[in-house]
Amino acid sequence: MKIVTNTKLIKRNAAIARYTSIAAFVILLVGFYITVQWKEQLSLALLSLLVGFFLSQIGIYYANRWGRSPRPDEVLDKNMKGLGREYTIYHFVTPASHLLVGPAGLWVLLPYYQGGKILYDGKRWRAQGGGFARAYLRLFGQESIGRPDLDAQAELQVTERYFKRLLPEGTELPPLRAALVFIDPNVELDVEKSPVPAMPVKALKDFLKTQAREAPLPTPQLDMIRKALPQPE
């Protein structure tokens, strides 16, 4: 499998994660100090705590995607290893953060790091369990799972518009699909009602192989898409 990665973006965002986390810690410490030493400056203390909390959320957001190791893109690469050189994965170089192009078709991959049990009842997504460490992280600012189905829809829309600008006018775009990929090795999924395919990352390669057998992307269309996209070095 060929890999095209925007390493400059990763380095920049990893730096943002580090610096905002440090700034958040310092500001929260200042707010605590003001609370203890200058009780009459309650408004200033509250302002410091609010700013520190806001910066901590930014740090968490960036750290989860670009500051941790292995990063989601690295986990995807590892678990798709062996697909073959006819596949190319594009990380952070198109509107979709992770775009896979190959015989299985065009796939927007959305990685999620939430662990424990993930449930979808047809209306609502929930993350349960995951042990004390997970509960602690959720309590102190780790992102909730949100609405992965809506995330997928949004990425598909912006990626489709990108391809319409990229390809010659009148070109028929092959089907563009999305998959939700959960990268925690201990995740448990109960998401049969999900409108978007959802799976643990260890099942991703077999899923793509099945797609390639059942509905392969014709070679001329595959070559057209690959030539239009950034080329691997």
Query: How is the chain split into domains, by residue range?
Result: 2-67, 72-228
State the pLDDT at residue 136. Answer: 44
State the pLDDT at residue 233. Answer: 63
pTM listed for this prediction: 0.83
State the pLDDT at residue 170. Answer: 80
State the pLDDT at residue 127. Answer: 85
Q: What is the DSSP letter of 142?
A: P
Q: Which tokens hold the place of 213?
A: 């057998």
Q: Which of 23-32, 187-196, 207-216 has the lowest mean pLDDT?
A: 23-32
The share of the chain scoring above pLDDT 70, in percent, equals 93
Q: Which tokens hold the place of 93?
A: 């170089």
State the pLDDT at residue 146. Answer: 87
For residues 141 and 52, what is the distance between their CA atoms, to the nearest angstrom?
A: 12
Q: Which of 56-60, 179-183, 191-195 has the lowest mean pLDDT?
A: 56-60
Reported as a pLDDT band with limits 50, 70 and 90, residue 75 is: very high
Cβ contact 81:1 at 8 Å: yes
Return the HEC string of 75-107.
HHHHHHCCCCCCCEEEECCCCCCEEEEECCEEE
More confident residue, 142 or 72: 72
pLDDT at residue 202 is higher than 60: yes
State the pLDDT at residue 42. Answer: 77
pLDDT at residue 139 is higher than 50: no
State the pLDDT at residue 28. Answer: 86
Q: What pairing do the DSSP bridges indicate for beta strands 98-102 and 188-190?
A: unpaired
For residues 47 and 107, what is the distance between their CA atoms, to the nearest angstrom?
A: 44
pLDDT at residue 133 is higher than 60: no
Reported as a pLDDT band with limits 50, 70 and 90, residue 193 is: very high
Angle at 134 between CA 32 and CA 35, to 5 degrees: 5
Count of beta carbons in the 10 Å neighbourhood of residue 207? 15
pLDDT at residue 138 is higher than 60: no
For residues 204 and 14, what is the distance between their CA atoms, to the nearest angstrom?
A: 26
CA 190 from centre of chain: 20
Q: Which amino acid is at 29?
A: L
Handedness of CA 94, 99, 102, 103 (dihedral sign): negative
Maximum mean pLDDT: which of 62-71, 92-101, 166-175: 92-101
Q: What is the mean pLDDT of the chain?
A: 87
Cβ contact 232:3 at 8 Å: yes
CA 139 from centre of chain: 21
For residues 143 and 34, what is the distance between their CA atoms, to the nearest angstrom?
A: 29
Reported as a pLDDT band with limits 50, 70 and 90, residue 58 is: confident
Q: Cis peptide leading into 111, omega within 30 of 0?
A: no
